[in-house]
Structure 1
Amino acid sequence: METLSNLECFIRTADAGSFSEAARQLGLTPAAVSRNVAMLEKNLGARLFHRSTRRLALTEAGEELRQGIAGSLEELQSALAAVSTERLEPSGVLRVSMSPSIGMGWLMPMLPEFLARFPRIRPEWHFENRQVDLVGEGYDAAIGGGFELRQGVVARRLAPAHVIAVASPGYLQARAQPAHPSDLRTVDWIASRSLQNGRIRTWVLRNGAGEEVAMEASPSLVLSDPAAMREAALLGLGIAMLAVPDVLPQLEQGTLVRVLPDWHADAGAISLYYASRALLPAKTRAFVDFVTQAFERDRLAERFAAVPSHA
């Protein structure tokens, strides 16, 4: 009977298309993955991959084996994980991708408590404003919004992603405050450019009565990062549209104030993304549970919501 390691190395290599990528996902060396696959081929008496200097491709026998065992292998791994997860202390490198504003502003303050609870986990956190390929790039989890839910990836909603207009009190003192989204045409707008399509981001604002108005404004300043946009607003350079968690401390301190407090844009949800629930390693399960419990304990979903001022 083939070992689980040999079969897992074969499946990961078939999915990734290379020994090196499969090795990175499994935490092994490329040589070890190659040896396991070679041993499987020897025992089966069949070549499973066409090998070249540039890429690997499944043979007919390899494709047949892949289709035949993929589901069974996942079920076996799930059963083993269910037995062992509760007994093993969470440990290992925990690779997580998150936006800089959410990560630095809200996740980093939780890190001391997390490490005190799980001392054998070694966080490797990547602060980046992009949607990563969770499985393909070898991340254990990601926190953000709008990720494509590929097969085997699930999303756990943490909080709403509401976007509001903010400015410094000094900026608003010197000019008339906008009373309606149409008034934004006359303000200094601190804009951002979409990483996905390269266009200036615009928003559809809505209020508690259900009205929707498309924002119409010409940017006076374009910045690529929410933290930079927040800093520009603090410097009195104009009005910025930013997610509530990016500016909540400044709003609570009074260094920024809401413009059009009855209006906001809905950008979906801030979610925690991770691989299939049934196959989570103990370290990932510990992180998922810790973060969701922390959001509930600190009422972050409620605090991140752009509740109209008259509600």
Structure 2
Amino acid sequence: METLANLESFVRSAELGGFSGAARKLALTPAAVSRNVAMLERNLGVRLFHRSTRKLTLTEEGERFLASIRDNLEGLQNAIAGMSAEGGAPAGLLKVSLSPTFGIDHILPLVPAFLERYPAVRLDWQFDNRQVDLVAEGFDAAIGGGFELSPGIIARPIAPAHIIAVASPAYLKKHPFPLDPSGLADLDGIVMRASGTGRIRHWTMRNVSGDEMSATPRETLVVNDPTAMCRAALIGLGVTLIAVPDVLGHLESGALVRLVPKWYADAGPISIYYGSRTLLPAKTRVFVDFIAEHFKRHRLAERFAGSLG
């Protein structure tokens, strides 16, 4: 009788086109995945893959076998995950990708309470201003905004990513308050260069009435990180357009002031991204629920909403 490890190695290798991608997904080495597939082929007496130095492709027999076991394998995994969630404590390494500013300010402080509740979970967190490939890079979850959803990836929104204009009181002592977003063009701008395209990000702001207006401060300082944008605004270098969560503490303390407070830009939702619900390990399921429940209980979606002025 085949082991679940052999079958998982075969299915993930077929889905991801290689042993390396399957290894990242299964938290194994490529050599271990290759051995599992080779053992499966020996036991079945058929070749499941055509192997080359560049990629794996299924043989005709491999395609038939994949079609016949894929749904059954998912059922087994779902049953095992369900038993883990109900009959035992969630455990294992939880690999998560987070945007640096948001993750450090709003997610990292939740770790003590999470680990107190789930002490058998270990954390491997990476803070990056980029969209990761959850499957290919072996992440259990990611928190951020603007991800393109590949097949099998779920997005659970937890808050809006509303962009607002802010500056320091010191800067505003020397410059007039703009009456609407068009007035930002007269101010020094701390602007963001998108890492993916290399282009300067431009925003169109709106108000609750649905009116829209371009917001284009002068490109006085160009950076590629929201933390740098916030710091530059704090030291009085100009106005920046930035997500509410990245500056909320500074607005509450008075270190930054919101300009044109009836206007904001909508960058879409901040979401938790994770794999298909039917294959979700207990450690990932409890993490997703823990974060979502915290945001709901503390009404963070409302606090992060620039539309509330």
Q: Same fold (TM over 0.5)?
A: yes
Q: Deviations over 1:123-166 (max 9, x none)?
A: 11100000111111110000001111111110111001100000
Contact 2:134 2:274 in 1 (8 A): yes
Counterpart CA distance in 2 for 1:24 and 1:131 is 17
The one-letter code matched in structure 2 to 1:175 is H
Counterpart CA distance in 1 for 2:181 and 2:24 is 49
Change (3 A) 1:32 1:216: closer
The 5-angstrom pairing of residues 18-97 of structure 1 reads 18-97=18-97
Correspondence for 2:170: 170
- Superposed CA RMSD: 1.4
Q: Deviations over 1:232-272 (max 9, x none)?
A: 00111100000000000000000001000010000000000
Contact 1:207 1:308 in 2 (8 A): no
Change (3 A) 1:17 1:288: same
Counterpart CA distance in 2 for 1:52 and 1:149 is 29
Correspondence for 2:198: 198
Counterpart CA distance in 1 for 2:53 and 2:204 is 50
Task: Percent identity, please.
Answer: 58
Q: CA deviation at 1:79?
A: 2.5
Correspondence for 2:16: 16
After TM superposition, the score normalised by the length of structure 1 is 0.95
Q: Deviations over 1:189-247 (max 9, x none)?
A: 11001123211100010012110012233311101100100010011110000000000
Correspondence for 2:210: 210
Correspondence for 1:231: 231
Counterpart CA distance in 1 for 2:308 and 2:27 is 48
SS of 1:148's equivalent?
A: coil
Correspondence for 1:147: 147
Counterpart CA distance in 1 for 2:24 and 2:161 is 33
Q: Deviations over 1:15-69 (max 9, x none)?
A: 2222233223212233332222112111221111122334322222112222232
Number of equivalenced pairs: 309
Counterpart CA distance in 2 for 1:92 and 1:165 is 42
Q: CA deviation at 1:106?
A: 0.6
The 5-angstrom pairing of residues 99-178 of structure 1 reads 99-178=99-178
Contact 1:188 1:237 in 2 (8 A): yes
Counterpart CA distance in 1 for 2:239 and 2:168 is 8
Contact 1:263 1:308 in 2 (8 A): no
Q: Any stretches of 5+ residues in structure 1 without a counterpart? A: none
Contact 1:88 1:282 in 2 (8 A): no
SS of 1:293's equivalent?
A: helix
Contact 1:165 1:242 in 2 (8 A): yes
Instruction: Answer with 194-203 or 98-107: which moved more.
Output: 194-203
Counterpart CA distance in 1 for 2:83 and 2:94 is 21
The one-letter code matched in structure 1 to 2:138 is G
Runs of 4+ in 1 over 6 A off after TM superposition: none
Correspondence for 1:279: 279
Instruction: Answer with 59-68 or 130-139: which moved more.
Output: 59-68
Q: CA deviation at 1:113?
A: 1.1
Q: CA deviation at 1:116?
A: 1.2
Instruction: Answer with 13-22 or 122-131: which moved more.
Output: 13-22
Change (3 A) 1:173 1:120: same
